[in-house]
Structure 1
Amino acid sequence: MGTRGASSAEHFLRAGYAVIFFHREESLKPFSRKFVNLFADIEVIDGKAICTAPGITEAVTEQHKYKDDLCMVPFVTIDDYLHLLEKLCALLANHGRLALLYLAAAVSDFYISQDKMPTHKIQSSDGDLNLSLSVVPKKLGSVISSLVPEAFTISFKLETDESILIKKARGALEKYGHELVIGNVLQMRKRKVVFVELAAAEPIELSDNEVNAGVEIETRIVEELVKKHSVFIENH
């Protein structure tokens, strides 16, 4: 659904960043993400359509406030994603250490490559269908080393087994050479994450009071990333 990316984009904008929001075409988007059933909250009063959804005024106000700092770039297929990611990173290269890559999209591990796509409709009369899936190319290493070697790059690691999360996250850091992996377990991803670096692992978890108050963990994630990015810029 893209909840984490959309929420995080809002917080980066509030923190003073300009944001390129690279998103799946039908995923949730910044500021409008809480209003997916907007039509149900519209009433007609004196011939005018009035929206009564709670928070809609604030959301629209913020969207207009940050419209010049937010660039929306959609993708549909994995091929689109891989191609456009490289293009966007190439554009960011000139910004050096001021650029921050926040790679929150949960890209599929497997896909059907373009050269294996059928030209015509597959006929059921041909019998059972067997699919052979290819592994999605791992672009992170080439993106970092070739296109944005100076950027502050954050990737995500999602697991269902918490016992292997830190090990897998550190494996990604060693393989790709970027700054940080945000690890999260599927069952707790909206309440707890772990900032994993080669020499440290720092959990970030919402308290019961924060959860009950409607605080989103992306608030805490972005607050910490802004601090780390500032130190990253100063230290270089």
Structure 2
Amino acid sequence: MAEPRVSSIDGKLAEEFACPCHVEEVKEKMAAFAKSHASAGRRVVLITSGGTKVPLESRTVRFLDNFSSGRRGASSAEYFLDSGYAVIFLHRHRSLYPYTRMFSSVNMLDVLQFTGEDTSSGCQVVVNQQLLPNIAKVLKRYREVKDGQLLLPIEFSTLSEYLHLLKAAAQALSTIGSKAMFYLAAAVSDFYIPASEMPEHKIQSSNGPLQLSMKMVPKILSPLVKDWAPQAFVISFKLETDASILLDKARRALDTYRHQAVVANVLDSRRGHVVVVTCESQAELTLTEEDVKNNVEIEERIVSNLTSAHSQFVTQHLG
């Protein structure tokens, strides 16, 4: 396979975003994971999940963030695993995680109880399954995934870490061609302050009102599609608060970046309605009241739609 071309984004990443020292080691781990599962006949999906934070000081006390909890990425990972994929889960530190995300609102000390005598050496701790009714089923599935080495978690915290790790992931997965999918569900910052322009110490409120001048984050989707993983199946996400501009922006993204699909959703209805937009079609995915009663999640519908599209994509490339 030909070496990826060097894009202008590569230079910008090197100049303005500090590269974590562990990136090369993580890249090798992702490449080995992808190669092993592709050899076993599995497809591999890289899921990005959670928000990115942008520091305002070198010795960071304050930073800009967004509302993303990582719910969509974590739940989607489970449905991809159920669909036979191996998953690289590139997620924000402390964002929601596959399987444990179901219990994120539970205080674990409230669901644990002692059996036998309450002594430091003689008691045992068990789970109150009335408070966690699905814990046995979830634990069983998690153990299957872990024993099968089907899930590779990779953490990031800052915007800089995310950008470098996504580039490393793209280059690692490029070795498996069309069997690779990128499901870019992370809520990535649009603006940042270059390290060279950041104050070293905490910004002092005694200096008066704060004025910030921020640069646009480089659009990493373009080099991912064109240079780093040109044979992969790539899905981006588009979230807006104004429904009237959503589909136009989704189609414009497809025209600009030439990837395979955009999952478009509006903030207020994102958990029950999305539109999967491709160059040839658009599919509206909606949960009914009955679906909601039966605990169906919109991510199950999204993953089902995209795995089918990926199958067609792989067939076209192999043909």
TM-score with structure 2 setting the length: 0.72
Matches within 5 A, 1:207-218: 207-218=288-299
Q: Determine which of 121, 133, 156 is the counterpart of 2:202.
A: 121
Q: What letter corresponds to residue 179 of structure 2 in structure 1?
A: L
User: Alpha-carbon deviation of 1:109?
Assistant: 1.6
Deviates more, 1:46-55 or 1:187-196: 46-55
- Mean alpha-carbon deviation: is it higher for 202-211 or for 130-139? 130-139
1:174-213 superposed Cα distances (whole Å, 9 cap, x missing partner): 1101000010111110001001112321101111100111
Matches within 5 A, 1:35-184: 35-36=103-104, 37=106, 38-46=108-116, 47-52=123-128, 53-67=132-146, 68-184=149-265
**SS in structure 2 at match of 1:108:** coil
2:305 match: secondary structure: helix
Q: Structure 1 CA distance, aligned partners of 2:192 and 2:136? A: 41
* Cα shift readout 1:140-163 (whole Å, capped 9, x = no counterpart): 001110111110000000011111
> Any idea what SS the aligned residue of 2:187 has?
coil
**Residue 49 of structure 1: SS of its match in structure 2?**
strand
Instruction: Answer with 177-186 or 32-41: which moved more.
Output: 32-41
- SS at 1:34 equivalent: helix
| Structure 2 alignment gaps of length 5 or more | 1-68, 117-122
Where do 5+ consecutive residues of structure 1 fail to align? none
Give the Cα separation in 2 of the matches to 1:117 and 1:49: 49
Could you tell me how far apart the structure 2 residues matched to 1:159 and 1:85 are?
23
**Pick from 205, 228, 231: which aligns with 2:309?**
228
What is the alpha-carbon distance in structure 2 between the residues aligned to residue 155 and residue 20 of structure 1? Answer: 16
Report 1 or 2 for greater relative contact order, CA contacts < 8 Å, sequence distance ≥ 6: 2
Q: Which shifted more, 123-132 or 193-202? A: 123-132
Runs of 4+ in 1 over 3 A off after TM superposition: none
Moved more, 77-86 or 117-126: 117-126
Q: Distance in 1 between matches of 2:209 and 2:145?
A: 52
C-alpha deviation, 1:125, in angstroms: 2.8
| Distance (Å, rounded) in 1 between the aligned partners of 2:231 and 2:154 | 23
**In the aligned structure 2, how far is the partner of 1:137 from the partner of 1:54?**
45
Confirm or deny that 1:16 pairs with 2:84: yes
Partner of residue 6 from structure 1, selected from 52, 69, 74 = 74
Return the letter of the residue paired with 2:142.
Answer: Q
Letter in 1 for 2:126: I
Query: How much has 1:33 moved relative to structure 2?
Result: 0.4
CA RMSD across the alignment: 1.2
Q: Which deviates more from structure 2 when the two are superposed, residues 199-208 or residues 170-179?
A: 199-208
CA deviations over 1:35-94 (Å, ceiling 9, x no partner): 122332222222222222221112221111111010000000001100100001100001
